[in-house]
Amino acid sequence: MQNTVSKSQVMADHTVTVSRLEEVVSTSDEFDRVVSQALPVLLDRATGYTKRFLRETGQWNDDIEHEKFALRWGSEYLERFLVCGRSEVPCRPLFLFDSLVAKQHSKPEPFCYHPDLLRPLGRFLDGLVARAVVSRDALIALYRHSYGWGAGEVIAVTGLNGLESQRIYKNFRRWRESGWQRTMDEIGLTKTELVELASQQQRHRQRFNGEAERLIRVAQAHYRKSEPDHYPCLSRAQWREMFTQGYGCDYRIWHLALCLDCMQTAWGLGSSGSLTEEKPRLELLVRP
């Protein structure tokens, strides 16, 4: 009985919130106020849309992995809405939100979906590479998690100059301090899952890294689309040219982090001679 009462109360609150979101807001501050009071409603709404999109496109399954995937993207859309929506006033927040989500879902591949990317290892890799697209810290950390390198090795491999090197150290530090944990929270990897990943790797090192390489290729191919248009894969001669002439610093950093093949192609062109012996293989590091 009590449960029924509280449920109907929740329903009533929900209706009030939704109708407030349907009204016009005129200023950015008002937008912030109204929207910040309705985060749960908006998150559920975006998650609902994402679920339906997955169902529609035959990518849905009734399990916790899919539920988490929908939640993660729902929250991603909501974050963008919070920041971009405030410049859209006057508007009716609810409809603006719906149209932003609809716009995302009308893109050819709104997110990186692959059933294998929904299991813990896949989620870890997908989350990592997705984060690298929006965060330079995460991008640099990809070198660490993929090949186990420290800042000095990253600088040597990508052939950076002094000024750029300073940034790499900063990227490493921030990632260790907060970036990694934040990314794990974002993709919803629990402590238990992380421990399980590490133990899997210990037990079957080769199989684990082989599987990781297969999955990271899927994620890289999808997220490389976030690179500037003029960053395609290059031949070894082209990479050499870039390294020796010293241009394309950004190109090197971005593309090599997100392309296993080019990393092997361009191997040894950087400044460090000691690294030139054997081409790098994926050796996944779970922790930073």
Considering only residues 20 through 79, tell me which ones interact with another protein, judged by CB under 8 A: 22-24, 26, 36, 39-40, 43-45, 48-49, 52-53, 55-56, 64, 67-68, 71-72, 75, 78-79
| Interface with another protein (CB under 8 A), residue from 1, 5, 163, 237 | 237
Q: Nearest to residue 120, comparing CAs of 222, 185, 190?
A: 190
Q: Nearest to residue 155, comparing CAs of 236, 271, 273?
A: 271
Minimum CB separation from another protein for residue 149, in Å? Answer: 19
59 vs 238 by CB, closer to Zn ion: 238
How far from the centroid of its chain's Cα atoms is residue 191's Cα? 19
104 vs 220 by CB, closer to Zn ion: 220
CA distances from 82 to 19, 34, 97, 102 (A): 18, 11, 9, 16
Q: Is 229 a binder of another protein (CB under 8 A)?
A: yes
173 binds, among another protein, Zn ion, none (CB under 5 to 8 A by kind): none
CA distances from 281 to 118, 119, 177, 213, 261 (A): 24, 22, 27, 9, 10
84 binds, among Zn ion, another protein, none (CB under 5 to 8 A by kind): another protein
Asked whether the bond before 280 is cis by omega within 30 degrees of 0, the reply is: no
Token digits for 48? 């609902």
HSE-up (13 A, CA, CB side) for residue 168: 26
> Please, what sign has the CA dihedral across residues 255, 256, 257, 258?
positive
CA distances from 266 to 82, 115, 129, 158 (A): 41, 31, 20, 9
| Interface with another protein (CB under 8 A), residue from 92, 213, 221, 268 | 92
200 binds, among Zn ion, another protein, none (CB under 5 to 8 A by kind): none
**Which residues on adjacent β-strands are paired with residue 102?**
none
d(CA 128, CA 187): 9
Residues at the contact surface with Zn ion, assessed by CB under 5 A? 233, 259, 262
Q: Is 238 a binder of another protein (CB under 8 A)?
A: yes
91 vs 198 by CB, closer to another protein: 91
Minimum CB separation from another protein for residue 179, in Å? Answer: 5
CA distances from 228 to 24, 170, 241 (A): 37, 23, 20
Q: Within a 10 A sphere around the Cβ of 222, how many other Cβ atoms?
A: 20
8 binds, among Zn ion, another protein, none (CB under 5 to 8 A by kind): none
Stretch that binds another protein, among 155-163, 224-232, 255-263, 275-283 (CB under 8 A): 224-232
Minimum CB separation from another protein for residue 235, in Å? Answer: 7
- Return phi, psi of residue 164, to 5°: -65, -30
d(CA 160, CA 168): 9
The mark string for 139-178 relative to another protein (x by CB under 8 A, - otherwise) is ----------------------------x--xx--xx--x
29 binds, among Zn ion, another protein, none (CB under 5 to 8 A by kind): none
The footprint of another protein on residues 192-221 (CB under 8 A) is: none
171 vs 282 by CB, closer to another protein: 171
Q: Is 83 a binder of another protein (CB under 8 A)?
A: yes
262 binds, among Zn ion, another protein, none (CB under 5 to 8 A by kind): Zn ion
